[in-house]
Amino acid sequence: MSNNNSKSLESWIWDAACAIRGAQDAPKYKDFILPLIFVKRLCDVFDDEVNRVVENVGSKEKALKLINKDRKLTRFYIPLRPENLDESTWSVIRKLSSKIGEQLTDFMRSIARENSRLQGIIDRVDFNATTHGQRDIEDDRLSNLIEEISKKRLGLKDVEPDIIGRSYEYLIRKFAEGGGQSAGEFYTPMEVGLIMARILDPEPGMEMYDPCTGSAGLLIKLQIALQEKMNLRSKAKYAPLKLYGQEYLPNTWAMANMNMVIHDMEGIIEIGDTMNNPKFREGNNPDQTGTGLKKFDRVAANPMWNQSLFNQKTYENDELERFPAGYPPNGTADWGWVQHILASLNDSAGGGGRAAIVLDTGAVSRGSGNQSTNKEKEIRKWFVENDFIEGVLYLPENLFYNTSAPGIVLFLNRNKSTGKKDKILLINASKDFIKGQPKNYIPEENQHKIVDAFLNWKEIDKFSKIIAKEESVKNDYNLSPTRYIHTADEEVYRPIGEILEELKELEQESKDIDGELKTIFQKLGY
């Protein structure tokens, strides 16, 4: 399928989303739209697989009887049957004319009943739901959506998994554009995910993990990075990655599972609170209780920045010994996530596990240069002294959908090679972007520049620098690349995000000092 067709597929998929109430309101209906496009793909693939059996048995009626008896003949068994067997399976949905929401919900649940892998994923949506007596999505709008989705066939011969996968991700990204603060819960910009995946450089058969999976985009990009590498090696057959993830929000968990299937990838995505109850324990069974966490070869994650959901009890009550560097402050769980991820990496002698974690820029600088004790700085100190930090990438501003702040990617390595020991690679990519609407983006050539510099540990003027551990100690464990790498503009202008972070930090210090003074005055009887 050509790129032009790929673009038309993206255009079609967005037009389908807008069929309900237009582009502005489309993101509100993602939980209705995504499952419908997903089921259209399942129906069309099912028809292709039925036709494959027809070639051997001679008729569609015989083929369906055979498939009814042996449901392993198709990837997913679809129980819907048109009155005229010559029509498509999807036509059963397309011909709905009354009680559309009610019947569509029943169809989704019947498909899920026949396929354990889809249970809780497509049957959680009620297309007939009401709020205060008003339908969440009226039948006429639903009919428009179904008709728009019907305009393209999504079978095996019509669209390759990578094309439909990219188009599905495009739709998720478009939802993120209009998703406000919630967007960061399910989407990491494509180019950021690809940079992370290419730097993590996975090998066939490795085990990958994302503890806050969102829509599974980072796991999918790890498999894409492996495919790219195997294509360069001219290897058609190789062991795929083993993908594992955990997601807290039920609707986002469902989105992740659909995204994996659409990309023709398999993995285990568990639902639940990773910080308080990580599902992946020793052994391959996610529900197996063990004395430690399951270890992975690579971890890619974009946890919610400065999350205040977890308090000290979360860390104090941990039975898995995940927080040896200390407990992060209540206002931000950034270094709680980093420690959970470090504890989830294998540390085999032949090359330890590696991780890439997207964080707020302040995570690598807060507390440095201040006289008072700072929990985050003490945790950073522990990571530096134990030589677990491989590098820090400073990103351009306005890439992410829930903030205009630049963000950083922190790279961990459980067992650095000899040449990298007690050294940290810093990259300042703050200028490596093209302005876009509504968000900026990192073009392909700049992505490759970042990846090449990291994989080959290149020092490039005003872009990348390797620092020894001693240099980070001199800077009081400030690991922000902007501290060490200055571009011409940055000598005059400083990133707004960095200035805001310092103001936030000064405000917190002021509160801490006020609290300490209050305690002293109380002891003095004032």
For residues 355-362, average pLDDT: 96
Does position 402 have pLDDT exceeding 70, yes or no? yes
**Residues whose CB is less than 8 angstroms from the CB of residue 302 and which lie 6 or more positions away in sequence, other chains included:** 184, 188, 192, 212, 214, 218, 357, 358
Does position 124 have pLDDT exceeding 70, yes or no? yes
Question: Lowest-pLDDT range, 23-27, 215-219, 258-262, 501-505?
Answer: 501-505
Separation between Cα atoms, residue 165 and residue 223, nearest integer Å = 12
Query: Which of 76, 77, 107, 112 lies closest to 93 in space, CA to CA?
Result: 107
Separation between Cα atoms, residue 206 and residue 241, nearest integer Å = 5
Q: Give the strand pairing for 408-413 and 354-359.
A: antiparallel
**Contact (Cβ atoms closer than 8 angstroms) between residue 222 and residue 244:** no
Tracing tokens 């499952």 back to the chain, one arrives at 35
Q: Please give the pLDDT value at position 330.
A: 87
Separation between Cα atoms, residue 41 and residue 262, nearest integer Å = 8
Q: What are phi and psi of 402, to 5 degrees?
A: -110, 10
Longest Cα–Cα distance in the chain: 95
Q: Please give the pLDDT value at position 4.
A: 44
In this structure, the dihedral spanned by the alpha carbons of residues 441, 302, 404 and 497, taken in order and rounded to 10 degrees, is -120
Does position 497 have pLDDT exceeding 70, yes or no? no
Q: CA 463, 468, 474: angle at the middle one, nearest 5?
A: 100
Q: Which CATH class is domain 179-500?
A: alpha beta
Q: What are phi and psi of 465, to 5 degrees?
A: -155, 140
Span 3-172 CATH architecture: Up-down Bundle (1.20)
Separation between Cα atoms, residue 79 and residue 93, nearest integer Å = 12
Separation between Cα atoms, residue 107 and residue 109, nearest integer Å = 5
Q: Please give the pLDDT value at position 290.
A: 54
List pLDDT tens digits, range 235-280: 989 999 999 999 999 999 999 999 999 999 999 999 999 999 999 9
List pLDDT tens digits, range 102-123: 999 999 999 999 999 999 999 9
Percentage of residues in the chain having pLDDT higher than 90: 72
Q: Please give the pLDDT value at position 291.
A: 62
What is the distance between the terminal CA atoms of the chain, rounded to a whole angstrom? Answer: 78
Separation between Cα atoms, residue 265 and residue 447, nearest integer Å = 24
For residues 110-138, average pLDDT: 94
Return the structure tokens found at 106: 């029943």
List pLDDT tens digits, range 60-85: 999 999 999 999 999 999 999 999 99
List pLDDT tens digits, range 270-308: 999 999 999 999 864 555 555 689 999 999 999 999 888
Q: Please give the pLDDT value at position 2.
A: 38
Question: What is the domain partition of the chain in residue ranges?
Answer: 3-172, 179-500
Q: Please give the pLDDT value at position 422.
A: 96
* Strands of 302-407, DSSP E: 354-359, 389-394
Q: CA 177, 182, 188: angle at the middle one, nearest 5?
A: 60
Query: Which of 349, 238, 343, 251 lies closest to 301 in space, CA to CA?
Result: 343
